[in-house]
């Protein structure tokens, strides 16, 4: 097989169809482009998709995590336990509220937070736990929820990778956690360009998030401006934020959500193809979901072994030279200057995260990939590894 070096295969590309484009055009022509009827529809559809939860749209998952932590009462001096192996947004929102993140190493098999290590990190200041469903594989939520119940802690799931993942045959978003937050960033399993969704079954948390996402105003702009009677009056009941989703973004989300299960099936097909064709190489393949769980396959992360004969960074460069875009998920937080220096973190305190990071490569995995594209990736991997 001849690699098409002049035809670069990117790491990720969103899958936007004519339905999304037409819906955006309809919104633009309607004159309602900020939070309005399309946002309301997207929230209703998302609630129905997950299964009767409250759904609050936001302009990013970062905003959603911030609102969720604020709504459950996290504040200055509190501690929130999370994984060291995540994007910085998971931890930075804790700092927004004056609280401190406490990092836990990962399970080397699942790459999720090691639930067996959480209890040792609990202190009198601990207020909540943020598990991150890495790559779309659900965390050990039974153990996490049991610990949370024992110590009266709140649980906010970072489900940025996890639509439509399942745990114990339940969609993420229907577990007994307090809040679940999804991301609709451009590379995620569904996209609105930028955006996110908060889901909860707690009406008080939902109401607090709704108020705080738009300046702490007691009524949605949509409700005020659509009223047939003079309805200009509103009240600011808290110092809120500017986190609302626009109708333009929601227009995309309405149709992306309709495709979520189809998208997952295609991602799973590509992952299975990779599994079949990379299984004999000197790499560790990504873990699969247990029986009764569902992996969203947001990411396909291989780990190079000592027998691979190539360093991770060199591998990625060689793949790029062959026209294949790869990435790394993630640089563990304890290696970043801010987190390392602020909390005096040491690499040896998170050995599994460090070892994983040094060998991890995320291969292209997105729904617009053709079978030929997946074959190109496999062929390039084999060439780089001289197999």
Q: What residues are labeled active site?
A: 188
The three-class DSSP label of residue 196 is: strand
How many other CB atoms are found less than 10 A from the CB of residue 309?
Answer: 14
Per-position DSSP letters for 234-300, written without gaps between them: --B-S---B-PPPHHHHHHHHHHHHTHHHHHHHHHHHHHHHHHHHTTSSEEPPPPPPTT-B---S-E
8 Å CB contact between 318 and 71: no
C-alpha distances (whole Å) from 168 to each of 107, 175, 288, 292 are: 19, 9, 14, 5
Q: What is the DSSP letter of 157?
A: E
Instruction: Return the bridge partners of 196, or none.
Output: 58, 183
* Longest pairwise C-alpha distance within the chain: 73
């Amino acid at each position: 097989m001849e690699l098409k070096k002049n035809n670069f295969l990117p790491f990720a590309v969103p899958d936007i169809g004519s339905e999304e484009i037409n819906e955006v055009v309809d919104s633009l022509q309607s004159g309602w482009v900020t939070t309005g009827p399309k946002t309301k529809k997207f929230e209703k559809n998302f609630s129905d998709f997950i299964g009767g939860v409250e759904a609050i749209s936001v302009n990013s998952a970062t905003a959603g995590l911030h609102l969720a932590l604020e709504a459950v009462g996290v504040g200055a001096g509190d501690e929130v336990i999370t994984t060291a192996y995540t994007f910085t947004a998971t931890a930075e929102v804790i700092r927004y509220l004056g609280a401190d993140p406490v990092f836990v190493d990962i399970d080397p098999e699942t790459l999720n937070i090691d639930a067996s290590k959480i209890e040792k990190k609990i202190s009198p200041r601990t207020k909540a736990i943020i598990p991150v469903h890495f790559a779309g594989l659900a965390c050990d939520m039974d153990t996490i929820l049991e610990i949370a119940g024992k110590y009266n802690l709140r649980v906010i799931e970072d489900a940025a990778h996890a639509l439509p993942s399942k745990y114990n045959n339940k969609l993420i978003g229907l577990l007994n956690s307090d809040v679940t937050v999804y991301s609709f960033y451009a590379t995620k399993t569904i996209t609105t360009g930028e955006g996110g969704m908060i889901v909860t079954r707690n009406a008080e948390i939902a109401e607090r998030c709704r108020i705080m996402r738009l300046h702490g105003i007691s009524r949605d702009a949509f409700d005020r401006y659509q009223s047939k009677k003079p309805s200009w009056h509103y009240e600011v009941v808290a110092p809120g934020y500017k986190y609302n989703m626009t109708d333009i973004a929601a227009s995309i989300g309405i149709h992306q959500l309709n495709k979520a299960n189809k998208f997952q099936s295609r991602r799973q097909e590509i992952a299975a193809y990779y599994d079949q064709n990379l299984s004999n190489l000197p790499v560790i393949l990504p873990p699969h979901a247990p029986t009764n769980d569902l992996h969203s396959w947001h990411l396909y992360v291989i780990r190079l072994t000592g027998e691979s004969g190539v360093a991770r960074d060199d591998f990625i460069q060689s793949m790029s030279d062959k026209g294949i875009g790869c990435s790394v998920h993630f640089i563990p937080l304890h290696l970043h200057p801010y987190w390392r220096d602020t909390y005096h973190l040491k690499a040896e305190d998170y050995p599994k995260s460090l070892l994983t990071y040094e060998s991890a490569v995320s291969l292209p995995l997105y729904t617009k990939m053709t079978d030929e594209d997946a074959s190109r990736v496999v062929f390039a991997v084999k060439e780089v590894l001289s197999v």
